[in-house]
Amino acid sequence: MPGLFIAFEGGDGAGKSTQAALLAKTLSDAGRTVLRTREPGGTPVGEKLRSLVLDHGQGEIDAKTEALIFAAARAAHASQVIAPAVARGEVVITDRYADSSIAYQGAGRGLGTADITKLNDWAASGLWPDLTVLLDVAPSEGRQRRTAGDAAEDRLESEPDDFHAAIRAAFLDLAAASPERYLVLPANSAVEELAGAVGRRIAELLQERGRQGAA
Ligand code: TYD
């Protein structure tokens, strides 16, 4: 069976990890080998870069340095983890990928979405997801959802709402530019409803890939 690469994207507090976990369970129950991973992270060097860029108190990190740290973590993740798993025929489900850099560093930090797209295409050696599930969340709602939990906000989360509004718009622009590679869902729908929509779209994609593989 052909491998598949799926990314979950969206603003902070959109519920990506919940949906990624539900999809992983559905697919492994159906007999697929699933690899769940996240960014930044997924490799030993990626996890170190993650704490460097997300934890408070590392000293000033300017926008370009931040973009390069995320891209460095992604380069390792793509070449050491994602590409080999897809080549083995597994389904890789990642919580965030390059679109997060395009939205957060390109739009949010103002580095420009075109440059950040190019940087990440190079870093990931041209590896892009087969499908990206975008859980669209309004900034105020995202903040409410994440602070209702336990967690303290990391360096990026604690940015103001207008930063998060720019990110939201950038994600929606990416999806609108390539609708065949995105599934956009309102993050405030019921968990089961979202999981159903994601499951249906992935089933379609797997069928399509299976037919292509057989042809
Ligand atoms: P996330 O995985 O959502 O962390 P947590 O679930 O622990 O809050 O992502 C961490 C933050 O990093 C999030 O605010 C988005 C940001 N980020 C970027 O700015 N650029 C990137 O390329 C990635 C992958 C994440």
User: pLDDT for 163-212, tens place per residue?
Assistant: 999 999 999 999 999 999 999 999 999 999 999 999 999 999 998 888 88
Q: Return the CATH number of 4-214, one of 1.10.3720.10, 3.90.1150.10, 3.40.50.300, 1.10.287.610.
A: 3.40.50.300
Strand order in the sheet with 131-136: 34-38, 91-95, 4-10, 131-136, 182-186
Check if the beta carbon of residue 24 is closer than 8 Å to that of residue 93: yes
Question: 100 alpha carbon to ligand 1 midpoint, in Å?
Answer: 7
Question: Is pLDDT of 114 > 90?
Answer: yes
Q: What local confidence, expressed as pLDDT, does residue 58 receive?
A: 85
- Identity of residue 71: A
Q: Provide the pLDDT confidence category of residue 149 given band limits of 50, 70 and 90.
A: low
Which of 98, 122, 126, 101 has the alpha carbon at shortest distance from 112? 101
Q: For position 172, what pLDDT does the model report?
A: 98
Compute the distance between CA of residue 1 and CA of residue 153 in angstroms, rounded to an integer: 40
Is the C-beta atom of 71 inside 6 A of ligand 1? Answer: no
Mean pLDDT across the stretch 103-122? 98
Average pLDDT over residues 31-38: 97
Ligand 1 pocket member 72 (CB < 6 A): no
pTM score of the predicted model? 0.95
Instruction: Provide the pLDDT for residue 213.
Output: 75
pLDDT at 175: 98
135 CA → ligand 1 middle, Å: 14
